Structure 1
Amino acid sequence: MIKNLNYIDEAIYLKEKSLFFNESWILVAHKNELLNNNDFVALDYFGNKIFVQNYNGTIKSFQNVCLHRFNTIHEEPFGNRVSSCLYHNWTYGKKGNVVGLMCRNSFEKDHISELRLKEYEVDFCGDFVFIKLNEQTDKKLSDYLGNIFSPLEEISKHFGDKTIDYTIEHKVNWKLLVENVLECYHCTSVHENSFAKMGFGSVAPEKFDFFDAHSWCEFPKGESAKPSKIIEKALADRTLKIQGYLHFYIYPNAFISSVEGKGFYFGFMFPESPSKTNLRVRYFAPKFEKELNESQQNIIDFINNSSNDSLDLVLNEDKKIVENIQTNLVNFKDSSPIFGDEEFRILKFYEYFNKKELKDI
């Protein structure tokens, strides 16, 4: 069983860091974030700056560093602009090549024409955008996701517009964030005013599946929960209608979830140290079977704002707990956490991760 030392030790963290790069694919975006020409999403992954961008309908991914004087090309986490460095306006095309620069005649022509941004292979699971970090592996995305591919592909089709995109710093080890989201055993106590009120956490899940460290699970809704008739009517034409709380963990660092198909959460972890992990939080409205009129859209906007507030409440409730845990671990280095039957997804995660760690480190 994992020791608490594994959550606080710098040497262990550095070994685990190499595992993140050895995994062949990471989930970085949803196509709804890249619908228009020049839409981009940028991320900083263990110090590696990367962006994905729509180039006239083709989604490509490159290292987010200009080859001239090594300034960051896209400084914002998302937006719409050409791939142009704001230092000297060096601009890059869909092949990662230099397509524009000031004072071109002052540079050696042949050298400039040969320059290419480092490119990352892109593939898709439905509308989810993945990139491959490890060039040494030829594992296909479908092989990487295994039997999780189909359910993940299905849920991706029901995302509407993105409503929020921000990052929260957690003073915790990344594994504590994984553990926290892989069970709803804590939902009735920690989320008394959110998940518990919606009826989640009181009924054990019956639907779930695993592949390596990836997993999905649907947490059933308790019968005592009372739905809002106004919200149910407003969301009646959403394309995904499920009864429970559906949650995916895509190893090593992505979380996808939805409460009854009424909205979609996309979390992305950025471990920075043994005791610091940034969590990028994105939320998407549901997709509807037909276009909404102005009155309906106003109601949906209100629901989306309420959903954003609820998500913020849940995330901060979890943040408080896991940060408390992290501060206590230094005094219990040789102890181990205890996982029960309700925490079976955590056990499956460590079953894979511990084998991987022994093999690759």
Structure 2
Amino acid sequence: MPLDTVEAVQVLVRLPYCLYIPSTRYLFNYPNSEKAIGIVPQKIWTERASGSTNLSAEQVVATESVHLAGGQLETDWIGQVTAQTGDLQATNMEFDRDPSGYFRYTLLTVEFDWEVPSEYQPPAQEAENTGEHFDITEEMSTKVLPFVNHFINLYRHVTGDVYIDQISVPVIDDIRIGLPDRCNLRKQTTSADAKLSYKHGFHPRMMGTHGIRPAMVSKPKEVVESFRSLLEDGFQPSTDEILHQNALAALERHDVKLSAIESFTSLEIFVERFYYGKLSGPMQEDEIEHLLTMDRNWQLPIRLKDLLKSQFGKSVSDIDNKLWERWYSHHKVRNDIVHRNHLPTEATASEILETNAEIKRILVAEIRN
């Protein structure tokens, strides 16, 4: 069947962890997309997972937020946990015991309109013609990556789950091209509600469907509603928040160098935005840029001490000298990581995250125009 200039497509993307939200269609607008993007998450597990005595107890569902005390719980399947507030899924046994996400994972059905490139040919036509092969998997990977990462960033913003991380290369299970009008698709609860007809498809990675079923969710209702509302309203987490979440995720997987660097990059962007926000009234943008780049003002310690005091009458060290000294020693660690390939301890990387977050807090709370 010939393709139109614009076709509705579905791309099924596998995440190596579980998102704990209902399997329903979430719609959101994205820059340069005329129609809303649709994403349907399904938490999937296999018979291998449900048949394991270690993993099958994950069927427990928390309908409300509960407090998990530190130490050993009175169950043998979850093991040692740190003190935290959240759902029973917060320890994320899927990721701990199955980091590749092979036995348990979230499958995202991403729906969007695709402007069909002139060089693209359906499989049957491509087989008949000679010439350069069109890589449909690479094309769809490029298209879905920003949609999926936006979905992930907002999920992290609402839930605070530190095991969630952005993806760099989508693992695509299925590509369906030439579906009916997506307005009709949106009336379904999930993409599996009906046998969808489409013009043709590709199956880059087929896992097989035997023994796979949607699993239960455990996020509180208010969290899910907040996520959906922010998604539909077009909310975008700030760049510094995304980097902070990336730093938390890096520390969770014991990548201490990356965690420290992303944490400081997050702070640098936050401080830059802070100055522009505070000075945009009395100063023009080019004047602010000149102020932030003249002499050594581009350096983060200068911006938090001398420059801050000259512009607002007090510096971080004036507000909390102990915090300043602790932060400054961590900034030296950051420089050693960058220039000397230093490997900090996990405790130091965790402290870096805490002190950088505290610097942000006191800038907002203590500095006035």
**TM-score of the alignment, normalized to the shorter chain, above 0.5:** no
Q: Between Structure 1 and Structure 2, whose CA radius of gyration is higher?
A: 2
Structure 1 or 2: more strand by fraction: 1
* TM-score, normalisation: structure 2: 0.25
* TM-score, normalisation: structure 1: 0.26
Structure 1 or 2: more helix by fraction: 2
